[in-house]
Amino acid sequence: MEARKNEAQWLEGTTRWRISVQRDGLRRSFYSSTPGKRGKAEAERKAEKWLSTSTQRENVRFGPLWVEFLEKEKETTGTGNYRQHESMGRNWLLPRLEHKRVISITPQDWQNCIDDGFKAGLSKKTLSNLRGAVTAFFKYCRKCRIPMERPELLTIPRAAPAHKKNILQPSDLETLFTKDTVTIHGHEEPFFFIYACRFLVLTGLRPGELCGLQNSDFKDTSFDIRRSVNQYGEITAGKNDNARRSVSLGVWANATLEGQKALLRKNRIISKWVFPDENGEMLQSGHLYKKWVTYRKQHGISCSLYEMRHTMISLARADVPEQLLKMLVGHSDSMDTFGVYGHEVDGDLQRAGALLDKVFDRVIGGGL
């Protein structure tokens, strides 16, 4: 424990004892309103206890702290995210680092875990998830003020096998924005989720984020991502801190939204959900996936529902500045707890919307 070098002082103005101490760059003050030596000792005991607790946390081992981290994850994130982190820890982190003091874990230790996963044949996506688990753990330590070296420059080997991502080709986009029917039992019917699928392409939303949209999330020229629906049908705060964001409503996206409203009116559906299921209830991502498979197979499209997000990112990359694009799609820019998107302004969102409209005018053609 860091030795305390000062004593509590009596403050005449507030009639209480105060002592200020510092640990790992963090300064805190402790007080006691009890007069005399008893109050002085009381304030100093509070300071000693805090310094002692800081030291105990400094000596914590990775294993117990990982369990604590997972318990917090279970309370604050979705089941999918929790299960992914639990699996990464159980298979790749705990066997190597369980008994090591957190303060002594180096970036190379984390890199060794990733390299071991690569040697075992993990895909690039799984290795990325492993790196994400390390990042989430680091953020937790920062919030708890537990000293830990920042796991910087963790790399995924280039030779790691990668799943090739499909994106909608220009002909696919033309189909999606002109064909709005599917054939069921020999009968051509309107595709109920056509506007939902178009909205995914135009905004780069994750499917779960689209399922979680409510009417109250929308403003005149933008909307807020406040929740997501995971594969288990649970409403969560989203994939990560940066997932909670504002997204611009350009001309294309707004027209698609108006089309969705008209579809709901035609089907006499009143719902708080922007893209509900056929009964007006919260749309489950699994249900949307199944319906999209029917549509894409009938129309010769190979892109999955999630890959629509990649389509938007791929199309916009040449026209929309990187930082603005990251803000729109909710990508983490760094491992800092607060990220870089806490200061977006309406001007940035309107600019992004205008740039995206130009992209879709060019790719799909003709405007609206």
Same domain, 52 and 71: no
Same domain, 217 and 340: yes
Q: Mean pLDDT, to the nearest integer, of 31-35?
A: 91
Q: Is residue 1 part of a domain?
A: no
Of 139, 74, 71, 59, the C-alpha closest to 105 is 59
Same domain, 251 and 358: yes
pLDDT of amino acid 83: 87
Residue partners of 327: CB distance under 8 A and separation at least 6: 245, 340, 341, 344, 348, 352
Same domain, 41 and 108: no
pLDDT of amino acid 298: 94
Same domain, 18 and 119: no
pLDDT of amino acid 239: 60
- Please give the share of the chain, as a percent, with pLDDT higher than 70: 88
Per-residue exposure over 157-196, b if at least 16 CB sit within 10 Å of its own CB, e if not: eeebeeeeeebbeeebbebbbeebebeeeeeeeebbbbbb
Q: Is residue 114 part of a domain?
A: yes
Q: Mean pLDDT, to the nearest integer, of 322-350?
A: 56
pLDDT of amino acid 116: 93
Same domain, 207 and 288: yes
Secondary structure E strands in the chain: 9-11, 16-23, 26-32, 181-184, 187-190, 222-225, 228-229, 235-236, 245-248
Q: Which residue has the tokens 């009596």?
A: 10
pLDDT digits (tens, 9 = 90+) for 268-299: 999 999 999 999 999 999 999 999 999 999 99
Same domain, 265 and 182: yes
Same domain, 24 and 92: no
The amino acid present at 321, given as its one-letter code, is P
Number of domains in the chain: 3
pLDDT of amino acid 26: 64
Return the sign of the alpha-carbon dihedral for residues 232, 237, 241, 242: positive
Q: Which structural domain, as residue segments, surrounds residue 271? A: 170-364
Residue partners of 19: CB distance under 8 A and separation at least 6: 6, 7, 8, 9, 29, 30, 43, 44, 46, 47
